[in-house]
């Protein structure tokens, strides 16, 4: 197992809050510096490293002497603002000792969802790696609230709502070979090990099936992810043609052991490789609208890899503009694909159910026969 991981050249490492802090909420100094030493060893082997880190909100709450973090977005944002600089200090101080330069990058959903911003971000991160810099990434909780609150509008889907998914997007969109998620648990178990001590570790996952997804459980009080979000991350990574592992970051030599026979954890195998653009459509965009299609259109999209014609559309939900990515849903409102639209929601409403030959007569113009072209559709 570990021999496959040794071949990884570009590696993303995600640190969870519970791994970086002690039970009292203070930073686990010896542990974080041990991580840094392990990462330096990987750098010396010629590997490129990108870090995705949690912990800003927790450290900020500790510094502000809050025993519990109130369930109020503005308080969590304030904690993030206070804690982020403290979090970065430990990384910078540790890597400085080895003469390694780090770069702080705080991201919001738009940095991925808006394609121009995403391409700029991709270029910046690639250049930092060329300069032998370690990018240290976190969600910008101070200005972005999607991770800190729950959405009630089911039609709005953000591309990431936690650092597990963020690390998966970074892995996918930066063409990394491996995502390492360091948690406070050994990996994926066949039952929740916090409730059942007889739970058994699953060492290898070849495909994220419904049975595997059912093994996701919620996070502990300090964390905001849990196994559910890690499995969502695994779906993104594996379908992008990359490996992902979950291992216990609280155990000694956690990172080093991933690459030798002492590895204990769960490895998720790649199942498919999508093009860079289709990975962006599938996973890196915010979704504000959806298009419901009939059974004939659904079959044509899945089996024949065709584009979406207006004749197959039965309902338009919410607003979207030309060039937006939307969900494509079946008659039971289940999403099965995503795609980039050639027409706005307003114009889609007008040509809904019509033959393509009628588009120009109805709208006064015609860009395409399809509402979504086949090259801009990803089947999920």
Residue 348: which domain range? Answer: 287-379
Does 253 share its domain with 354?
A: no
Is residue 126 in some structural domain?
yes
pLDDT in tens, 63-118: 888 877 767 778 888 888 898 989 999 999 999 999 999 999 998 888 888 888 88
What is the CATH classification number for the domain harbouring 301? Answer: 2.30.130.10
User: What local confidence, expressed as pLDDT, does residue 157 receive?
Assistant: 61
Does 202 share its domain with 307?
A: no
Tell me the C-alpha distance between 181 and 271, whole Å. Answer: 19
Does 250 share its domain with 297?
A: no
Does 176 share its domain with 304?
A: no
Does 262 share its domain with 297?
A: no
CA angle 270, 276, 282 (to 5 degrees): 75
User: What local confidence, expressed as pLDDT, does residue 4 receive?
Assistant: 81
Three-class DSSP category at 308: strand
Three-class DSSP category at 146: coil
What is the CATH classification number for the domain harbouring 154? Answer: 3.40.1160.10
Please identify every stretch of the chain with a pLDDT value under 70, giving residue numbers as ranges.
Answer: 1-2, 70, 141-161, 218-225
User: What local confidence, expressed as pLDDT, does residue 111 receive?
Assistant: 86
Phi, psi (deg, nearest 5) at residue 65: 60, 40
User: What local confidence, expressed as pLDDT, does residue 151 receive?
Assistant: 36
Does 13 share its domain with 157?
A: yes
Question: What would the DSSP string read from start to end of 233-284?
Answer: HHHHHHHTT-EEEEEETTSTTHHHHTTSTT--EEEEPP-----HHHHHHHHS
Residue 110: which of 169, 51, 164 has the closest Cα? 169
Does 294 share its domain with 170?
A: no
Count the alpha carbons within 13 Å of 100 in the hemisphere toward its beta carbon: 25
Does 168 share its domain with 268?
A: yes
Is residue 282 in some structural domain?
no
Residue 41 region by backbone torsions, left for phi larger than 0, else alpha for psi between -120 and 50, else beta:
alpha
Looking at the 3D structure of the chain, how many domains does it have? 2
Tell me if 155 sits within 8 A of 289, measured CB to CB.
yes
Final residue belonging to a domain, choices 276, 301, 333: 276
Is residue 281 in some structural domain?
no
Tell me the C-alpha distance between 336 and 375, whole Å. Answer: 16
pLDDT in tens, 86-100: 999 999 999 999 999
User: What local confidence, expressed as pLDDT, does residue 355 receive?
Assistant: 94
Task: Show the tokens assigned to 73.
Answer: 């977005």
User: What local confidence, expressed as pLDDT, does residue 224 receive?
Assistant: 52
Tell me the C-alpha distance between 203 and 189, whole Å. Answer: 9
């Amino acid at each position: 197992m570990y021999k496959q991981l040794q071949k990884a050249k570009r590696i993303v490492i995600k640190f969870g809050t519970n791994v970086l802090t002690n039970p009292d909420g203070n930073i686990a100094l010896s542990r974080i510096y041990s991580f840094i030493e392990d990462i330096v060893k990987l750098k010396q082997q010629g590997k490129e490293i990108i870090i995705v880190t949690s912990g800003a909100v927790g450290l900020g709450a500790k510094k502000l002497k809050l025993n519990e973090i109130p369930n109020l977005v503005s308080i969590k944002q304030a904690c993030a603002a206070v804690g982020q600089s403290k979090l970065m200090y430990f990384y910078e101080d540790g890597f400085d000792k080895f003469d390694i330069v780090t770069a702080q990058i705080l991201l919001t959903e738009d940095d991925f969802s808006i394609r121009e911003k995403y391409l700029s971000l991709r270029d910046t991160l690639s250049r930092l790696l060329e300069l032998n810099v370690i990018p240290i990434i976190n969600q910008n909780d101070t200005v972005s609230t999607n991770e800190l609150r729950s959405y009630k509008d089911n039609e709005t889907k953000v591309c990431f709502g936690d650092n597990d998914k963020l690390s998966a997007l970074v892995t996918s969109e930066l063409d990394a070979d491996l995502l390492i998620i360091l948690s406070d648990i050994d990996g994926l178990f066949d039952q929740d090990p916090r409730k059942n001590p007889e739970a058994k570790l699953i060492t290898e996952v070849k495909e994220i099936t419904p049975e595997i997804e059912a093994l996701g459980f919620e996070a502990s009080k300090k964390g905001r992810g849990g196994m559910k979000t890690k499995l969502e991350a695994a779906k993104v990574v594996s379908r992008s043609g990359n490996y992902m592992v979950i291992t216990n970051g609280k155990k000694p030599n956690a990172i080093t052991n991933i690459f030798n026979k002492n590895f204990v954890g769960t490895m998720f195998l790649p199942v498919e490789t999508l093009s860079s653009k289709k990975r962006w459509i599938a996973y890196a965009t915010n979704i504000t609208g959806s298009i419901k299609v009939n059974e004939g259109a659904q079959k044509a999209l899945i089996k024949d890899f065709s584009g979406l014609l207006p004749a197959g559309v039965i309902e338009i939900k919410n607003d979207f503009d030309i060039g937006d990515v939307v969900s494509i849903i079946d008659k039971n409102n289940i999403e099965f694909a995503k795609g980039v639209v050639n027409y706005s929601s307003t114009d889609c409403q007008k040509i809904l159910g019509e033959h393509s030959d009628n588009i120009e007569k109805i709208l006064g113009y015609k860009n395409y026969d399809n509402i979504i072209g086949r090259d801009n559709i990803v089947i999920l």
